Amino acid sequence: MATVTHLAAHPGRLPEFFLTILSAVISLGAYSLVHLGANGEMPGNIMVVSAIFGGTALLVHLLIRWAAPYADPVIFPSAMALNGLGLAMIERIDIATGGSQVTSQAIFTPLGMVLAALVVIALRDHRVLRKFTYTSLIVSAVLLVLPLIPGLGREIYGARIWISIAGYSFQPAELAKIFLAIFFAGYLVVNRDNLALAGPKFLKIQFPQLRHFAPILLAWAICLAVLIFQKDLGTSILFFGLFVSMLYVATDRLSWIVIGGLLALGGGFVVFQLFPHVTARFNVWLNAMDPEVYDAAFGSYQVVQGNFGMAHGGLFGTGLGQGYPGIVPQANSDFIIASIGEELGMAGVFAILALYLIIVIRGLRSAAYVRDGFGKLLAAGLSFTIALQVFVVVGGVTRLIPLTGLTLPLIALGGSSLLCNWIVIGLLLRISDAARRPQVRSSEPLPPAWDIDDEYWDSGDEESAESEEKTPRDESDADRTDTQAVNLS
């Protein structure tokens, strides 16, 4: 039984309201400036866009206020600002290229925001998800296999990560990421003791027992398989990073990170040797400015042009609508950060990165304060994945690391990615609500959670961490039945 938490019970709804308005002003301002910069006039539909975008934001704010009154007040406005800026930039690239890709993104934006609210509303207690630990595993496995099914999967830019149903294409890996996070959280919260058990010691690092290697090897194999069959470097890195970070949080054993790192390096080396497209990526990374690499097919043209754009933007950018972001291939998806860098400058890129970091840190904060282990793992995993994804994308574009085919969450073009990232935001909102809610034993009945007993033994306080590890007996019993059920099926 935990002591009553000392967390301040500021719901934070008023700050969220003002931040929501600020984000709407930033987004709609960016949208207007794009048109002013490129065409010299205000967008014709500014009233309609303002009404839809602002109206949806206000609606979502009200829904959060109602369904999750203690949710972190900064997460939603930050996500909304990122989405709004991305939308303005996609419109900007449309103007440059004469495309009309903004339309779908403009439809998915309010849908995504509402979806986040629906997650918050439908999921009254995030611990419910724990019941779907193994279901999530199956769902994510199915999702990952979908693109490989002939007739359903589509290959775009050499990566087979899309499925196409009735004219609509969808990237299942984005959704798989969420289900995998749920599975990992559910699995690790049960098995963390086993995984944390002392094994042989080597080079002063305590290694786990051999039989507990199984899950990390499995994750490693899955990621390699994704990479090999779907040629998707980015998703593999993301999944593996997600798993290793959650494993570390669950066990607090550095050895897992070392093992994970070694496996990632090993896998990377094998793939580097075996796959020409990965070798090419490394070559582009190291020798981008070399004219031969620059002119080669699948060479460094894109990344070098992206860097030229960012250099052209300098500290404060050319101004929205006044650069040449359209030169860079995929200026509105993989390379949207280069487009932003050109027109909003270093200052703009820093602002975007700051917004991401705010979401990540607020997510991790919720993980630290939430009281149940499952919620901690899920929030930490999802938050860290956002950080990792931003790092891989921006690091790739700026040649900090080799380029991988990932898109910036919430900003880049892509409906499925946008919806899935809004689901992630919804989950973080829900967990943050649990983390910040004052723990008052009132006459009000607790929510009818399946794992209600969590509340009593799994406290978020570090002081109780030891007792935490001694008491999970009934917990593992409960999950053992789950395991058997899966084994039988």
Partner 1 sequence: MNLPIRRLATLAAIMFLALLISVTMIQFVKAPELSADSRNVRTIYEEYGRERGPIIVADETIVTSEPVDNLYSFLRTYEQGELYAHSTGYFSVAFNSMTGVERYENSVLGGSDTSLAIQRLRDLITGDEQRGGGVELTLDPEIQQAAVDALAGQKGSIVVLEPNTGRILAMVSIPSYDPNLLATHNSADAQANYDALIANPDQPLLNRATGGNLYAPGSVYKIVTATAMLESGADMDDEIEAPTEYSPPGTTHVIHNPGEAACGDGSGEATLLQSIRQSCNTPFAIAAVELGEDAMREQAERFGFGQSLSIPMPVTPSQFPDSQTQAELAQVGFGQYELKVSPMQMAMVASSIANDGSLMTPYLVDRTLSADLDEISTTSPSEFSRPMSEDTAEQLTTMMVDVVDNGTGFRAQIQGVDVAGKTGTAEISSTIAPHAWFIGFAPADNPEVAIAVLVENGGNQGFGTDGGSLAAPMAQSVLLTALND
Q: Which residues bind partner 1 (CB under 8 A)?
A: 96, 245, 248-250, 252, 289, 294, 304, 307-315, 323-324, 326-327, 341, 345-346, 349-350, 353, 356-357, 360-361, 364-365, 367-368, 373, 376-377, 380, 383-384, 387-388, 390-391, 394-395, 398-400, 460, 462, 465
Query: Which residues make Cβ contacts (< 8 Å) with residue 394, sequence separation at least 6?
Result: 337, 349, 353, 400, 408
Q: What is the distance between the alpha carbons of residues 409 and 403, in angstroms, rounded to a whole number?
A: 16
Least Å distance between CB 36 and partner 1?
Answer: 16
Least Å distance between CB 96 and partner 1?
Answer: 7
With respect to partner 1, which residue has the nearer C-beta, 275 or 294? 294
With respect to partner 1, which residue has the nearer C-beta, 95 or 114? 95
Least Å distance between CB 212 and partner 1?
Answer: 17
**How many alpha carbons fall within 13 Å on the CB side of residue 213?**
12
Element (H, E) at 341: helix 336-369
With respect to partner 1, which residue has the nearer C-beta, 56 or 459? 459
With respect to partner 1, which residue has the nearer C-beta, 330 or 416? 330
Least Å distance between CB 290 and partner 1?
Answer: 11
Least Å distance between CB 248 and partner 1?
Answer: 5
With respect to partner 1, which residue has the nearer C-beta, 180 or 419? 180
Least Å distance between CB 182 and partner 1?
Answer: 17
With respect to partner 1, which residue has the nearer C-beta, 144 or 352? 352
With respect to partner 1, which residue has the nearer C-beta, 323 or 402? 323
Q: What is the distance between the alpha carbons of residues 239 and 482, in angstroms, rounded to a whole number?
A: 23
CB-based burial of residue 481 (10 Å sphere; 0-12 exposed, 13-18 middle, 19+ buried)? exposed
Phi-psi region of 316 (alpha: psi -120 to 50; beta: other; left: phi over 0): alpha
Residue tagged 């039984």 (tokens): 1
Cα separations in angstroms, 405 against 211, 381, 408: 34, 21, 10
With respect to partner 1, which residue has the nearer C-beta, 38 or 227? 38
Please choose, from the candidates 2, 60, 128, the residue with its C-alpha nearest in 3D space to the C-alpha of residue 440: 2
Element (H, E) at 189: helix 172-196
Q: What is the distance between the alpha carbons of residues 32 and 169, in angstroms, rounded to a whole number?
A: 30
Helix ranges (H only) for 199-335 are 214-230, 233-251, 254-274, 276-286, 291-295, 301-313
Least Å distance between CB 210 and partner 1?
Answer: 23
Least Å distance between CB 307 and partner 1?
Answer: 5
With respect to partner 1, which residue has the nearer C-beta, 113 or 310? 310
Least Å distance between CB 350 and partner 1?
Answer: 6
The DSSP 8-state label assigned to residue 129 in this structure reads G
CB-based burial of residue 129 (10 Å sphere; 0-12 exposed, 13-18 middle, 19+ buried)? buried
Question: Any idea of the CA torsion for 45, 47, 52, 54, to the nearest 10 degrees?
Answer: 130
With respect to partner 1, which residue has the nearer C-beta, 61 or 212? 212
Least Å distance between CB 357 and partner 1?
Answer: 5
